[in-house]
Amino acid sequence: MTDLKVIGEITPPDYKDPATMLRNIADQIDAGDYSTVYTVALALFTDDSHRMFGGGRDSGMEHVAFTFGVAQQRLLHIPLGGE
């Protein structure tokens, strides 16, 4: 039998780690990678719940709902194989 030794750790890409993904987006906003961000809408699915959050200059329920609606429409119209 061959002895196996660990030579490194396989880590998932950053987008697979929710906290890292959120930090990266915040860093990109701070770096000016996006134009002015007025609304942030975030949905979390956990073991026991579904939660939604809104933030930004325009973070009222109507703006967050609109942002989720636009995102849903965009996702529904992405052709198979990507954009």
pLDDT greater than 80 at residue 69: yes
pTM above 0.75, yes or no: no
The single-letter code of the amino acid at 47 is: D
Residue identified by tokens 């709902």 is 65
Task: Specify the pLDDT at position 51.
Answer: 94
DSSP assignment of 13-52: -GGGSHHHHHHHHHHHHHTT-SS----EEEEEE-SS-EEE
Task: Specify the pLDDT at position 14.
Answer: 77
Q: Based on C-alpha coordinates, what's the Rg of the chain?
A: 18
Per domain, the residue ranges of the chain are 14-76
| Dist CA 29 CA 48 (whole Å) | 30
Task: Specify the pLDDT at position 9.
Answer: 65
Task: Specify the pLDDT at position 13.
Answer: 78
| Dist CA 57 CA 66 (whole Å) | 14
